[in-house]
Structure 1
Amino acid sequence: MGSGGSIPQDTTMKPVRLRDFIEDRDGCIYAVSNYDNSDRIGCILRYVPEPAGERTDLSGRRYRKYDFAESFAWIREHKPEYLDTVHRVPYSDVVRVYKPEEEIGHVAARSVRVRRLLSHFPLPAGSFGCTGSLLCGLENAASDIDMVIYGDAWFTAQRQLRHLVAAGVIPAMSEGMWRKVYEKRVPEISFDAFVLHEQRKWNRGEFEETYFDLLYTRDYGNLDAVPPGKGEVLGRATIETTVTDASLSFDSPSVYAVDHPEISRVLSFTHTYSGQALAGEIIEARGVVERHGDERWLIVGTTREAKGEYIISKTLLESSG
């Protein structure tokens, strides 16, 4: 999609969805963090044009990368009208939408690492791409590869990664890398429990000394799978329950349908607990209870660090013990 003029919100444009990036009139670049983008686009500021910035785009413009806290401080000071639980950018302020599935050819053409990694994942055209700095042309030599894969193709890629590691084509994650991920996530569970859950997810790996993720995103036909919005907070709870449907457990938020007398779904807004349990497994989950219509949902990851909140598969822990 070109960069001239504002983006109209019309029916001919593909919907803006999770893991797309957008650019506003001032050249600021945001990561789309929501599926609910009907009125304004829910996103997080990532890159701001600055003459002394440490990143340079393909045209030579310099940018500074902002972390989560810094981005909210910048928005609060410079664009307070965007401030919400995320940053909400009106369509009239958007000059470009970066879509991973549309830009992947350009990304692969300039990155030999991406090209080599993709060669191991035969997936249908249009079902995958790269998000993050690679999508915007702002990567550096240390950048991770954030592969995004849409809908059912994600599960194909997950199986492919498992086979690639078993065959020795892609190395198993080293303990050093697991430690790095654990320290970045700072979860409420032990390192051993964390790795036990993570090792069976097959959604990340190391390739040519580069860390990569396989990130799930819904396909265009399934964007309304979970009603958006925050519910009425009813308090905190810890529950033990059986997962009945984990088909959206790698999404953002992760969604687990559960068989519980009061709670109908457990949602995780932190990537740490995505894919944490399989259908049929018993989980223990601690978080905040919200009312959504006639349902009550348990929300994990109500803060950035998800302090005091977690999901564990008791079935997995007991089977490994």
Structure 2
Amino acid sequence: MLRTRLRDFIVTKDDWIFAVADYCHEDGIRSILRYVPDPQGTRGTGKKYRKMDFDDAFIFMRKARPEWVSDVHIVPWDSVKEILAPDKRLPQITEKNEKVKAIVKSLEKHVPLENMGVTGSLLPGLEIGSSDIDFIVYGSSWFTARDIIRREKQKKNPITEISDDMWQDIYKKRRPDISFDEFLLHEIRKGNRGMVGGTYFDLLYVRDWKDIEPCLRGTDAGNKTIEATVTNADFAFDSPAIYKIDHPEISYVLSYTHTYAGQALVGERIEARGMVEIVGNVKRLIVGTTREPKGEWIRSLTLLDGK
């Protein structure tokens, strides 16, 4: 039986390559088109591929497979030719890529190899010289890996801190609805980004299979700004990031934008603005209802007050 999870890639019978978007795949695989075959493409050493940005992917899919288009792209199971799993392909990627090997070597004493993986353009072998490294650690081992990366950055070889110019580039790419100084304050504390051999990398969280739960759908109940105390942040670096909170109306905050993953710790007071969604008898706040959300955010008031 085929199964897939967040940050896997799938290859369809048309050789289209999609990035899996979440864990909810009852009616098909929820994903985003990333690469399509193109003789004029710049990716790949044999068969050439063209990389699709988010908007172009939706334009392409509305013409080519409109029935697959929803809030993401829903790929029918019977259209899947292959699943590219980051953990399964890590050994061959490590063999070819010295920078990935350096990250693995830093982690392997304390993080099992089977709990690591690489996604992004490296996963299907379509990287170019300027490609970043999207490094995955599965489940609770992620927190161990994050602490190791923090220590390795202090040694400054081969893993180093992100340069000021790179932080500016990341901020411009994310386009969050908070100031650069506020963005940087939160990001530096997270500790899950770095440079290896001059290449930027992200340490990405993905759930263990045992932690994946049935997905819940809700109904929109309008926008709201709340203040609350975080009571649980076990999945704060997941996608969506989840923050359980102590609030008289809202049970938890979900963030679908990577910018607000890991934004607050347990016990911290947060301010969050997003869309209220009702699921059964529970209300939750959704942050990141569009790809570059405006008028939506999560900020740690505790962190900001202590700066």
Aligned partner letter, 1:41:
I
Give the CA deviation at 1:34.
1.3
Aligned partner letter, 1:113:
K
- The equivalent residue for 1:166 is 154
Determine the C-alpha separation between the residues in 1 that align with 2:303 and 2:288: 21
Give the CA deviation at 1:228.
2.1
- The equivalent residue for 1:4 is none
- The equivalent residue for 2:67 is 81
Correspondence list, 1:40-119, <5 A: 40-57=28-45, 60-119=46-105
Range that drifts further, 165-174 or 85-94: 165-174
Determine the C-alpha separation between the residues in 2 that align with 1:245 and 1:67: 34
Give the CA deviation at 1:229.
4.3
Give the CA deviation at 1:149.
0.8
Aligned partner letter, 1:69:
D
Give the CA deviation at 1:223.
0.9
**Is contact 2:24–2:30 with CA below 8 Å preserved after alignment?**
yes
**Matched residue pairs, number?**
304
DSSP 3-state at the match of 1:196: helix
Give the CA deviation at 1:133.
0.7
- The equivalent residue for 1:189 is 178
**Is contact 2:118–2:135 with CA below 8 Å preserved after alignment?**
yes
- The equivalent residue for 2:132 is 144
Determine the C-alpha separation between the residues in 1 that align with 2:258 and 2:113: 26
- The equivalent residue for 1:291 is 278
Determine the C-alpha separation between the residues in 2 that align with 1:186 and 1:296: 27
Correspondence list, 1:139-288, <5 A: 139-169=127-157, 170-224=159-213, 227-288=214-275
Aligned partner letter, 1:52:
Q
Give the CA deviation at 1:41.
0.5
Deviations 1:239-276 (A, max 9, x none): 00000001100000000000000000101000000000
Give the CA deviation at 1:294.
0.8
Deviations 1:91-149 (A, max 9, x none): 11000000000000111111122112221122202101100110101011111010011
- The equivalent residue for 1:22 is 10
Give the root-mean-square deviation of aligned CA atoms.
1.0
Determine the C-alpha separation between the residues in 1 that align with 2:283 and 2:149: 36
DSSP 3-state at the match of 2:113: coil
- The equivalent residue for 1:7 is none
- The equivalent residue for 1:133 is 121
Give the CA deviation at 1:80.
1.0
Determine the C-alpha separation between the residues in 2 that align with 1:228 and 1:52: 40
**Is contact 2:121–2:127 with CA below 8 Å preserved after alignment?**
yes
Deviations 1:170-213 (A, max 9, x none): 22221111111101111111111100000010111111110000
Aligned partner letter, 2:103:
L
Determine the C-alpha separation between the residues in 2 that align with 1:290 and 1:314: 23
User: Percent of aligned pairs with the same residue?
Assistant: 49
Correspondence list, 1:6-21, <5 A: 10=1, 13=2, 15-21=3-9
DSSP 3-state at the match of 2:5: coil
Give the CA deviation at 1:302.
0.4
Aligned partner letter, 1:307:
K
Determine the C-alpha separation between the residues in 1 that align with 2:215 and 2:59: 25
Match of 2:21 among 28, 33, 37: 33
Determine the C-alpha separation between the residues in 2 that align with 1:19 and 1:232: 26
DSSP 3-state at the match of 1:258: strand
- The equivalent residue for 2:295 is 308
DSSP 3-state at the match of 1:27: coil
- The equivalent residue for 1:5 is none
